[in-house]
Amino acid sequence: MIVKSFADEVITFVENLTDNDWTKISDWEKWSVGVTARHVGAGHFAISKIPQKKIAVAEKRIRNYFKQKDLK
């Protein structure tokens, strides 16, 4: 499942941050890594409230989109 694997990667990334890494500011958004992690986490929490069937349909559409894009 795409959402689950992404969440696992984010959790692993965040767990391995140093205190210094946690406070670094991104050049593009001007957010700290900690604020960005919270933002991603809040979005993931919202997604987790969506019924699994809807997530599965969305993932299928995403896969199909990229397959079609690769063919072009």
Helix (H) or strand (E) holding 45: helix 33-48
pTM of the model: 0.53
pLDDT in tens, 38-61: 777 777 666 666 666 666 666 777
**Number of domains forming the structure of the chain:** 1
pLDDT in tens, 8-30: 887 888 888 888 888 889 888 88
> In angstroms, what CA-CA distances link 38 with 11, 32, 56, 58?
11, 10, 25, 24
Give the separation between CA 39 and CA 43, rounded to whole angstroms. 6
